[in-house]
Structures are given as C-alpha cells and as structure tokens.
Amino acid sequence: MMSASPTEKQNAAPAGTGTADREHCHKKNTTNATPRKAYRAQAEWRKRNPLKRWAHVATDNAIRNGILKRPDACEKCGAAGPVDAHHDDYLAPLSVKFWCRSCHRKHHARSDA
C-alpha cells in the first residue's frame, strides 16, 4: 500500500469533513435563511391584508371546528386531491368555494389581468 504524497495529504479533507458533512453544512446554510425570509414575507402580507387574514383564520377555524367541511375534490373541475378555499367576498368568510390549486390559480390569473 502506497502512502499519500505530501501534496495529497495537504489537499485531503480533514477528518470528520467528508461528503456527508459538507452536504449537511450546505443544506443547513442554504435552508436556514429561507424560513426567516418566508416568515418575514408572511408577516408583511398579514400587515398589508388584515381583512384577508381574518377571513382565512375564520375559515380555518370553521373547518377545524366542523362548521365547514373541506371536500376531497375540486368543486369546479372535480379533480380529487387537496383543495384551496376561495373567497369571493372576504366579509363573508364562511362563504367559500373549494377549488384545486390549478382552478384557483386560473381564476385569479383571469381576475388579476
């Protein structure tokens, strides 16, 4: 077995800093900022949209307390899977339409244009 040359020893990673450690550090360094950014963005949205926030909370509470039932399929296209609660009027927070993400985004793309 040949021993490593002095250059190879200098270029070798120190013990305990193998690929798994580098991947862990990279993941840690790139993901820690993301939750902070997301939290900050959500907090700013809540400040700018108090009525929408109130309607969302009221809807979530009604679903949790059994007042509203979230269906298993989109009310617009019938696609099975998770659905979003769409408000036509934020002053009526329990008057919602349950649409799949695709239908919900299409609706807002049309109304925002």
Using one digit for the tens of pLDDT, what is the confidence trace for 88-113? 999 999 999 999 999 999 998 987 65
Distance between start and end Cα atoms, the chain: 70
Report pLDDT for 61: 98
Length of the chain: 113
Cα–Cα dist 103/75, whole Å:
9
* DSSP secondary structure letter of residue 97: E
Q: Which residue has the tokens 């679903």?
A: 63
Residue type at position 9: K
99: region left, alpha or beta (phi > 0 left; psi from -120 to 50 alpha): beta
Task: Give pTM, 2 decimals.
Answer: 0.63
The per-residue pLDDT for range 48-74, each reduced to its tens digit, is 999 999 999 999 999 999 999 999 999
